[in-house]
Amino acid sequence: AIANNARAALQHGSESVLADLESFTGYDVLDAAAQGDRLSFRIVCEAFDQLGQAIGGLINTLAPEVVLIEEVVGRAGPDAVASLFQSIKRNILPSHSEHLSLRISTVESQLARIACLGAAVTTLDTCFEYDSN
């Protein structure tokens, strides 16, 4: 979606370093945002705002102490990551923000996905624990 939004903006005359590329992916948009490309940064921040709303909803439902976000998000640069964290904080209940730790994973993407899957299974197991007695 990020790459498609960038393509649409370029077709409407927006300027970007992405215009010099024959084709590009969402990763390229993240990288361009980190390098200071204004269009890419705006698109990434819009996507991160939506992501922040979704993560905020999950935090309000599950009340975790730690939220670990895949390292690929960090490719967009510290300012974009800060906008994501701000969006998350705007969308959570005040009682959750006191003890919440937001972190960007430093583990390679594939390993992070496996770790997140394990954490999700553990969480679901805890939430839906059934006592047959």
Instruction: Copy the structure tokens of residue 102.
Output: 């937001």
pLDDT value, residue 113? 67
Could you tell me the pTM of the whole model?
0.80
pLDDT value, residue 112? 63
> In sequence order, what E strands does the chain have?
66-69, 101-104
Where do the structural domains in the chain lie, given as residue ranges? 2-127
CA distance 40 to 57: 26
Tens digit of each residue's pLDDT, the chain (133 residues): 899 999 999 999 999 999 999 999 999 999 999 999 999 999 999 999 999 999 999 999 989 888 988 888 999 999 999 999 999 999 999 999 888 999 988 776 666 667 767 777 776 776 776 666 5
Task: Classify domain 2-127 by CATH number.
Answer: 3.30.420.40
CA distance 104 to 41: 18
Instruction: Copy the structure tokens of residue 117.
Output: 């899957």
Q: Which amino acid is located at 121 in the chain?
A: V
Instruction: Copy the structure tokens of residue 107.
Output: 């583990």
